[in-house]
Amino acid sequence: RPRVLSGIQPTAGSFHLGNYLGAVRQWVALQEAHDAFYCVVDLHAITVEQNPKELRQNTRVSAAQLLALGIDPDRATLFVQSHVPEHAQLGWIMQCMTGFGEASRMTQFKDKSARQEQSVGVGLFTYPILQAADILLYQAHYVPVGEDQRQHLELTRDLATRFNSRYGKTFRLPEAYIVKDTAKIFDLQEPTAKMSKSVPGGVVELLEDPKRSAKKIRSAVTDTGREVVFDVENKPGVSNLLTIYSALTGRTVESLVADYDGKGYGDLKKDLGEVFTEWVTPVQERVRMYLDDVASLDKILASGAERAREVAAGTLRRTYDKIGFVLPE
Ligand code: ATP
Ligand code: MG
């Protein structure tokens, strides 16, 4: 079975709609026919300052959300990144394979560092390199992510290619698995910017009071005119709402547009608020259920880490050997 690897940060307690529609929904679908590894990437979270108590809680809340959204620990390997030390170890090797100029071209670093109020850490700069290690450790065929990760996936492939040509075939070249329709969900207040955990604004959080979400949807920035049409260029706000509506209901955008013929933005927003509430309410109930039994949750994560380590340790050992490290007995 082809391998799949992906990760999500526990920086905010709640995932947002972009995380779900852009990534986690695909994770759930892919676990059926793939050997899937999914991790909560706490090492990535500390690239910006985290409160220890909140980080610990958010890591568990993230795992609980993945389970509540449909990740099945009997089918997929669900784990926490820091439980598998090979990530940091291969991360170092990959840093030594990366050019400074090459790392400097990562646009997400430019965006994120420009927004940082505190001083910008080197970890934020090298984070895509650690992410390359995350992927390469598992010899993943596919990496289900949103559009914003495309450049990082290219870096991963470049590093794998470089390593393989220097030391002999070691890593599989992974492919980004990006579902076009939902690859970039936009902020509701700023429908040309990506909905993001680290940028407050029109972010629909899965764990907030659904009434609050419905209100955010009702007050989403829409466009001039009043006709509900799908036109990303000229009507990014309405188009974003249609994308979300379509993804949550499985209905085509065309049929939605036909339905709202003669109605206005207000109707669309009100209905989408209801659609979202209906979808998210049972998800929230399941999250609560998993968090009510932290011991069982931690057990799921421990057995996931054990399975992940078997694969990761094998890859790291082969890598060390290729490099010329004396292998420990
Ligand atoms: P940050 O802005 O702090 O990086 P984030 O919102 O991007 O946070 P991540 O944990 O970095 O959250 O991303 C988890 C997954 O969600 C990634 O695969 C990412 O590509 C995807 N993703 C994030 N935002 C969106 C979005 N607006 N639309 C579609 N996919 C998204
Ligand atoms: Mg991100």
Euclidean distance between CA atoms 154 and 160, whole angstroms: 10
Mean pLDDT calculated for residue range 41-68: 97
E strands, 91-173, are 142-144
Mean pLDDT calculated for residue range 273-283: 98
Which ipTM did the prediction report? 0.98
For residue 93, the model assigns a pLDDT of: 98
Nearest atom within ligand 1 for CA of residue 149: 20
Euclidean distance between CA atoms 293 and 91, whole angstroms: 33
Q: List b or e across 126-143, with b for residues whose CB sees 16 or more CB atoms inside 10 angstroms.
A: bbbbbbbbbbbbbbbbbb
For residue 204, the model assigns a pLDDT of: 98
Output the DSSP codes for 90-103.
Answer: HHHHHHHHS-HHHH
- Candidate from 91-100, 196-205, 231-240, 297-306 with smallest mean pLDDT: 196-205
For residue 160, the model assigns a pLDDT of: 98
- What angle (nearest 5°) sits at the alpha carbon of residue 220, between those of residues 22 and 263? 105
Catalytic residues: 112, 194, 197
For residue 117, the model assigns a pLDDT of: 79
Mean pLDDT calculated for residue range 24-38: 98
For residue 225, the model assigns a pLDDT of: 86
Point out which residues pair with 36 in neighbouring strands. 4
Q: For residue 9, which ligand has an atom nearest its CA?
A: 1
pTM for this structure? 0.97
Q: For residue range 166-176, list pLDDT tens digits in order.
A: 999 999 999 99
Mean pLDDT calculated for residue range 78-85: 98
For residue 39, the model assigns a pLDDT of: 98
Would you call 42 exposed, middle or buried from its count of C-beta atoms within 10 A (0-12, 13-18, 19+)?
buried
Question: Binding site residues for L-tryptophan, as ranges?
Answer: 134
For residue 224, the model assigns a pLDDT of: 87
- Candidate from 74-78, 111-115, 216-220 with smallest mean pLDDT: 111-115
For residue 309, the model assigns a pLDDT of: 98
Q: What's the CA-to-centroid distance between 52 and ligand 2, angstroms?
A: 20
Residue having the nearest C-alpha atom to atom 13 of ligand 1: 8
Q: What's the CA-to-centroid distance between 167 and ligand 1, angstroms?
A: 33
For residue 191, the model assigns a pLDDT of: 95
The whole-chain average pLDDT of the chain stands at: 96
Euclidean distance between CA atoms 81 and 86, whole angstroms: 9
